[in-house]
Amino acid sequence: MMFGFILLLIVAYCMFNSSGFGRACCMNHHPHGDSSLNLLNERYARGEINREEYLERQQELSGKNS
C-alpha cells in the first residue's frame, strides 16, 4: 500500500517536471505564438522567405489581419 503511494508521487513528480506545468503556468506570454514568430524570424534571416511573405505571415501570427 505504501509502495503504491510512493510510486504515484514519483510518477506525478516526473510528469510535472517534464511537461513544464510549473514553469508555463506562471508566465505572462503565449509560448506557441512566441515560438512561431521566432521561427518566422529565423526563416527570414536564413533567406527562406522574402520580405513580402515575412510581413504577411507576421501580421497573421500577430492577429492583425487587415
46 is a domain residue: yes
21 is a domain residue: no
Q: Tell me what pLDDT residue 62 has.
A: 86
Q: Tell me what pLDDT residue 12 has.
A: 81
Instruction: State the SS3 of the chain.
Output: CHHHHHHHHHHHHHHHHHHCHHHHCCCCCCHHHHHHHHHHHHHHHCCCCCHHHHHHHHHHHHCCCC
42 is a domain residue: yes
Q: Tell me what pLDDT residue 53 has.
A: 97
Domain of 55 in residue numbering reads as 31-66
Q: Tell me what pLDDT residue 15 has.
A: 77
Q: For the segment 11-59, what is each residue's pLDDT rounded down to a tens digit?
A: 888 877 765 555 554 444 555 557 899 999 999 999 999 999 999 999 9
Q: How many domains does the chain have?
A: 1
